[in-house]
């Protein structure tokens, strides 16, 4: 039966005889450009500091190329790469083309138009005079490209020079907007936003000395994933779920971000950060907030971020004097993953042979508010685990009374809702039905929805979406400073206790690469058991 026929049947998908029929979510068949950029977008220059670095090469330049192909950049637009690496406009264009070719992304017929957008300036991040020269170059580029003085400054540089770069932008007058200068100015900061609460507040102080809050875009690319954005739609646009989304019906919620990769080329950063700073302070906390927050009065950036902040304020202070009851830390050792032997963390290049940096953490937290009182949230992330999986698991309570105990026994599996974020972008709901046959038996069945089912329009990668929002000035998917500080306020006491306790080495549990983490994590909560049971 065609989609058109199903649509004509009405909301319940019934035919003329009233029998239920199978329907599918239709593709709205909108023009591609309507699914990418809302409106033409204001003219602007995107300045990438660190344009010759890893982030720009792997993420930003390919994302900008894809946006260009899909009509996702303003009609009047320029890209200015800045770095210490000596390059000219032409060599930067050749460098970008080589990146795209090696990734299998290049479409030769479109390259000439994109290449004209690319410009480059050699820049010493510690030289005030270089930033004054950059200002003059930007003025000239504005006149040449007709970009109206609008600028996005993207800090694709090491976190240690965020503050200095922002300071030099401010001192050279590049952060100003409004009176005395036409156009707007925005600064984009990648995580990590500090190393703890004190450093986060210090970075914020410097940023706000030169930029106002509406000019600051703190990126967490997890928020731009389609399935993460869908969490709020799923919760607040479906009347069948929101009434059950509370302590009366939910037993526990698990937020899991499991990785198969090891430390890779990030040993220098990871040795200083560890899993709590690398994953919990940003990605995990954002997923927690989206799952736990109250509905905003309107779907608008500040209202949504207000509700996230309320969720963070409701976090019960972590019992650091009883860490063993609420937190498990681990570090991967040698093991087998996908049929090949992989080294342990301490054997990785750039890692200290006696490192005490955790690569796995599982914690049980609570929110002290009306909706969630008494419901545990299990937050888990780790490297070199058995499978790559990012998901939210909502475990509903068991039926209060088993009327089937005489034939089925006392145990009936509880309903479970899984919001798969990556790599399986899907929603699954498990429930109980009678097994066909004469004998009365239950079986667990799954209602399954693939997020991209029957959709043929453009799909934006996370960095493509955040770049569009930076250009449009939409803060919905970005951190606000109070959220950053509230999360650090929660995590800093945990970090301090873990990093200063006398038995730090004993608390760090070894687990083999290719497993689901330390055995002790199974004792903290049921999350890893359910992951282990999933193919």
Instruction: Give SS3 for 454.
Output: coil
In terms of DSSP bridges, do strands 77-83 and 44-49 run parallel, antiparallel, or are they unpaired? parallel
Residues 107 and 114: beta-carbon distance below 8 Å? no
Q: Please state, in angstroms and rounded to a whole number, the distance separating the CA atoms of residues 56 and 154.
A: 10
* Rounded (5°) CA angle 182-187-189: 175
DSSP 8-state secondary structure symbol assigned to residue 502: T
Q: Report the catalytic residues.
A: 283
In Å, what is the CA distance from 92 to each residue of 95, 251, 333, 465?
5, 55, 41, 24
Instruction: Tally the C-alpha atoms within 13 A of residue 374's C-alpha that lie toward its C-beta.
Output: 8
DSSP conformation class of 76: S
3-state secondary structure of 410: coil
- 230/223 Cα distance (integer angstroms): 10
For 284-353, the DSSP string reads IHHHHHHHHPPPPSSS-HHHHHHHHHHHHHTBPPP-GGGHHHHEEEEEEESEEETTEEE--GGGSTT--T
Please name the residues in contact with 128: beta carbons below 8 A apart, sequence gap of 6 or more: 168, 171, 172
Lay out the sheet containing 44-49: strands in order across.
Answer: 118-122, 77-83, 44-49, 151-155, 185-190, 216-219, 478-479
**Sign of the C-alpha dihedral, residues 496, 500, 504, 510?**
positive
- d(CA 535, CA 532) in angstroms, rounded, equals 8
Structure tokens at 462: 């996370």
| Alpha-carbon span 101 to 108, nearest angstrom | 9
Check residue 30 and report its DSSP letter.
Answer: -
Token match 């990648």: residue? 190
- How many other C-beta atoms lie within 10 A of the C-beta of residue 461? 17
Strands 185-190 and 340-342: unpaired
Three-state SS for 475? coil
Q: Which own/partner contact pairs does 264-271 have at CB distance under 8 Å and 24+ positions apart? A: 265/54, 267/348, 267/349, 267/350, 267/351, 268/350, 270/351, 270/357, 270/359, 271/350, 271/351, 271/352, 271/355, 271/357
């Amino acid at each position: 039966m065609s989609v058109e026929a199903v649509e004509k049947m009405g909301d319940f998908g019934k035919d003329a005889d009233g029998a239920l029929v199978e329907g599918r979510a239709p593709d709205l068949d909108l023009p591609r450009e309507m699914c990418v950029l809302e409106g033409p977008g204001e003219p602007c220059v995107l300045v990438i500091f660190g344009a010759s670095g890893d982030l720009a090469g792997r993420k930003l330049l390919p994302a900008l190329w894809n946006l260009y192909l899909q009509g996702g950049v303003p009609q009047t637009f320029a890209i200015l790469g800045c770095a210490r690496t000596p390059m000219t406009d032409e060599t930067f264009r050749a460098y970008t083309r080589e990146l795209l070719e090696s990734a299998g992304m290049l479409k030769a017929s479109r390259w000439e138009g994109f290449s004209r957008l690319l410009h480059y300036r050699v820049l010493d991040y510690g030289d005030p005079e270089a930033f004054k020269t950059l200002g003059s170059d930007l003025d000239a580029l504005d006149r040449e490209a007709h970009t109206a003085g609008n600028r996005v400054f993207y800090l694709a540089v090491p976190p240690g020079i965020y503050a200095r770069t922002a300071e030099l932008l401010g001192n050279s007058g590049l952060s100003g907007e409004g009176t005395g200068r036409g156009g707007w100015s925005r600064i984009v900061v990648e995580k990590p936003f500090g190393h703890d609460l004190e450093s986060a507040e210090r970075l914020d102080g410097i940023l706000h000395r030169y930029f106002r809050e509406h000019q600051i875009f703190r990126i967490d690319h997890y928020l731009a994933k389609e399935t993460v954005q869908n969490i709020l739609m799923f919760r607040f646009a479906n009347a069948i779920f929101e009434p059950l989304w509370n302590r009366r019906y939910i037993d526990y919620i698990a937020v899991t971000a499991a990785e198969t990769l090891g430390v890779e080329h990030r040993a220098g950063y990871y040795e200083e950060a560890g899993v709590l700073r690398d994953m919990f302070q940003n990605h995990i906390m954002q997923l927690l907030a989206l799952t736990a927050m109250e509905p905003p009065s309107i779907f608008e950036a500040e209202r949504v971020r207000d509700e996230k902040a309320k969720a963070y304020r409701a976090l019960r202070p972590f019992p650091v004097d009883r860490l063993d009851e609420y937190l498990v830390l681990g570090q991967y050792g040698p093991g087998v993953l996908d049929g090949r032997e992989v080294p342990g963390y301490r054997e990785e290049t750039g890692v200290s042979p006696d490192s005490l940096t955790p690569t796995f953490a599982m914690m049980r937290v609570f929110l002290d508010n009306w909706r969630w009182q008494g419901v545990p949230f299990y937050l888990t992330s780790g490297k070199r685990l058995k499978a790559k999986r990012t998901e939210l698991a909502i475990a509903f309570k068991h039926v209060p009374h088993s009327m089937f105990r005489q034939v089925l026994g006392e145990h009936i599996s509880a309903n479970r809702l899984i919001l798969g974020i990556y790599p399986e972008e899907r929603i699954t709901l498990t429930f109980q039905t009678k097994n066909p046959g004469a004998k009365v038996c239950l079986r667990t069945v799954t209602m399954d929805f693939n997020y991209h089912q029957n959709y043929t329009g453009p799909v934006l990668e996370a960095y493509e979406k955040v770049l569009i929002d930076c250009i449009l000035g939409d803060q919905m998917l970005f951190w606000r400073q109070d959220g950053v500080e509230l999360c650090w306020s929660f995590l800093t006491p945990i970090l301090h206790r873990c990093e200063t306790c006398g038995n730090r080495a004993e608390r760090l549990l070894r687990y083999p690469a290719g497993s689901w983490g330390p055995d002790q994590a199974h004792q903290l909560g049921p999350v890893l058991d359910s992951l282990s049971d999933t193919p």
